[in-house]
Structures are given as structure tokens and as C-alpha cells.
Amino acid sequence: MILHKLSLVTNSNHTTNVIIGSNCILESLQSHSLSSKRVFIITHESLLTTLPIDINDILKNACNSDCYFIFVPDGEAAKSIDSYSYCLNQIFDIGVERGDTIIGLGGGVITDLAGFVASTCLRGIKLINIPTTLLAQVDAAIGGKTGINHVTGKNLIGSFYQPDLIINDCATLRSLPKHEAHSGFAEIIKYGVINDKPLFDVLSSQAQVLKLYNFEHNETLWLDIISQSIKNKIAVVEQDEKESSLRAILNFGHTIGHGIEALFDYNTYKHGFCVAFGMCAATYIAKRKNFITGDGAETIYQILRLYDYQHILLKPIKTTALLHHMGRDKKVKDSKIRFILPTDIGKVILSQDVTEDDILSSVAFIQTFFRGDTP
Ligand code: NAD
Ligand code: GLY
């Protein structure tokens, strides 16, 4: 069943069709008329048995193409130069033409990698994303940021490359571990804070249902929330695809969040949890600088508590190392770190006036917030 059909149209007139539904991959591929001679599916081998769908069967019924699976390691390790070369080696060994298609099937790691492979293979072949984590459905798979990591930092090698089709099948989320859903949910809270007070209000009022992360029993609510999140992202990306200005608001929580992710070598905290740390720190800084009222800041802390993020234990942070990592991030412009700070629910500003002292105070605050107490 397809419930929502959206589209993202860039300034250069590229259209990405975005489907949101349940058990909708076959129908979506059929209506897309996949006519490529070859389809390369980049994924993790383990997902073929974990996912509650039979992708082989779906592809057999959806197209007449020759389908080739390319398996990469699970986790952030897949976003490496080695995995990238491996994918291209496989594709060139098989043979590839401009009309062929790459499908990225998996979480944000896969959609980032598959997107970068598609954008660089023969200077760009067709790309379909089938995101299977909550984080990838609401954020990573949509908007055209692709990339892999370099030893110097995360996502430092990449491109802007828009997929032709994104299929968000809520049924695939039924096998998603709860902590992965919890991580992805932070990006949904992000949309509420930066741009969408009505969404924020739904998240607040429906917390007891949503925090079960039961994608089967509460499917309609989830489909609406996923769709609303994607609409927020589309609205921003359509105005500023290459992040020259407005798109930076999507980085709310990412400035300190990416720093913490890097500090712990990308293997301790999921991306979404780091975004939760970062949103809390940015809110503290906004309050410290009187950009947001005490009540406004408390409302943001409260939604983080409502969704149990305070139960994550944030290990002691070496602030010198954190500042070092933050200085290497892509969000640094003219040597100044750019922060997105909330001024109200649904409103943010970009500030380049955050001092080292502000950052250190906010880190001290989040160390007390994310204490890891069991509920
Ligand atoms: P991930 O891709 O590593 O997936 C998390 C885990 O879930 C993996 O072990 C994966 O195998 C497993 N999995 C995926 N789908 C599943 C399912 N349906 N059932 C059971 N298990 C499943 O992590 P993620 O959180 O999805 O993505 C994180 C990545 O996304 C980071 O590298 C981050 O930089 C990137 N990202 C990119 C953007 C962007 O705009 N391009 C935005 C946000 C995040
Ligand atoms: N996830 C941030 C962006 O897509 O810009």
C-alpha cells in the first residue's frame, strides 16, 4: 500500500519521486518502470535475511534487468575508501552502461555509500534508495548528500547527487532494533524544533505510543510522521540544495554531535544519539546567550527526556580533543564554527558567535543531562 507520494524538485529540475507506504517496494518499482539492463544492489548481506521482505522476489517481479548484489561490511566501516573501490571494482568487472541503476538498500551508511558510487560511476548513473532504518528514511536517503569517510574526518569525501526514486517502506522497519529506531527518532525531533511546531506537538502528545517503536501496530501514525519529516527536509533542500544558506538548519545538533561522534571514533554512539547530545548542547548555548527563553529551552529538554535520551550514558568528554574534532568539521567556515541555535519551537538561527566558553559550559551541562540512569 502506497500512502504518500512526494517529490523533490531541484533548481536544475531534477525530480526525485518519494514513496511512503507499507509493503510498497514492488508496486513502487513497477510504477517507476525500471528499464535498466543491469541493476546493482548495494547492501549488507545480513540484511537479506533480517529484513521482513524478499528483495530477490520483488526484483524478479519488478523488472527484467540482470540484478547483481554487492555486499559491503555492516556499520560505519562500509563508508570507507576500500568499500567504495570494492563496489566500483565489482560494477566494472560485471560491466556497466549509463542507463544502468544502483539501488542502495539499507540504512544511512548504505544510502551514503551507494549514492557516492552512483554519482561517480561513469560520471553518474541512476540511483534508487530503499532506506530501511528510521534515520535513513527521514534524513539520510533524501536530499542528495552522499559520501564516505576519510581518516581525517567523517563524510569528507562526497557529492550532491539526487536519487530518481526513494521508497520508504514502513514494513521494513519492523525488524529494526529498538536502539536503532531510538537513534533515528532524534532526527524527527530535530525537524520539530527547527521548522515544525505542529510536528513537535504531535511528538509530545503521542510519546507513549511512538516510543514503543512498534511500526506494525501503529503504522498509520508512523507513516504520517515519516512523511511529515520528509516534507520538512524537501522544503529546505528545494530552496538550498547545496547548503549555501538555509540547508544549514538541518545541522541543528550536528556541530557538537559530529564532534562527539568523532571523539569516540564513530563506534560508541549512533549518529542519532550524537544529534540528541548536540541538540541539548545547542539549546543550552541558546539559553546562555538569551536567544531562547528558559521555558523554551525546558520544552526541548523535556521532549528529549520524554523519549528517554537521558538514559544514554555520555562518557566523560576530553574537551580539548572535542574542540579539535569540531574544528575539522565541514560546518567550519572562515575558521569559525557555525551553530544552529533554537529561538523557539519551530524556529532557529545560525550563529557564528558561539565562544569556546559557551561550548565548554554546554559540554559540562550535557554530561549531567545524559547520565545513563535506568528508567
Ligand atoms: P546504519 O546504516 O549503520 O544502520 C544501522 C544498523 O541497522 C546496521 O547494522 C544495519 O545493518 C541495520 N539495519 C538497517 N535496516 C535494518 C532493518 N530494517 N532491520 C534490521 N536491521 C537493519 O545506520 P543509520 O543510523 O541508518 O545511518 C547512519 C549513517 O547515516 C551515518 O554514516 C551518517 O553519517 C549518515 N547520515 C547521512 C545523512 C545524509 O544526509 N546523507 C543524514 C544523516 C545521517
Ligand atoms: N542531514 C543534513 C542534510 O541533509 O543537510
Question: For the chain, what's the residue count?
Answer: 375
Q: Whose alpha carbon is nearest atom 5 of ligand 2?
A: 250
Q: Say how far apart CA 118 and CA 146 lie, in whole Å.
A: 9
Q: Which residues contact 53 (CB under 8 A, 6 or more apart)?
A: 23, 25, 169, 171, 172
181 ligand 1 Cβ < 6 A: no
All three cell numbers of 124: 553518474
pTM exceeds 0.95, yes or no: yes
Q: Whose alpha carbon is nearest atom 20 of ligand 1?
A: 176
Contact 94, 121 (CB under 8 A): no
CATH no., domain 2-175: 3.40.50.1970
- Taking the CA atoms of residue 346, residue 162, residue 157 and residue 139 in that order, the dihedral angle to the nearest 10 degrees is 30
Does the annotation mark 38 as catalytic?
A: no
pLDDT by residue, tens only, the chain of 375 residues? 999 999 999 999 999 999 999 999 999 999 998 889 999 999 999 999 999 999 999 999 999 999 999 999 999 999 999 999 999 999 999 999 999 999 999 999 999 999 999 999 999 999 999 999 999 999 999 999 999 998 887 899 999 999 999 999 999 999 999 999 999 999 999 999 999 999 999 999 999 999 999 999 999 999 999 999 999 999 999 999 999 999 999 999 999 999 999 999 888 999 999 999 999 999 999 999 999 999 999 999 999 999 999 999 999 999 999 999 888 666 666 667 889 999 999 999 999 999 999 999 999 999 999 999 765
CATH class of 178-214+252-369: mainly alpha
Fold agreement between 2-175 and 178-214+252-369: no
Domain ranges of the chain: 2-175, 178-214+252-369
Q: 76, 180, 187, 241: which one is catalytic?
A: 187
Q: Say how far apart CA 103 and CA 122 lie, in whole Å.
A: 16
Contact 203, 189 (CB under 8 A): yes
Closest CA to 162 of 116, 130, 131: 116
Q: 79, 182, 190, 254: which one is catalytic?
A: 254
What is the phi/psi pair of residue 167, to 5°? -115, 110
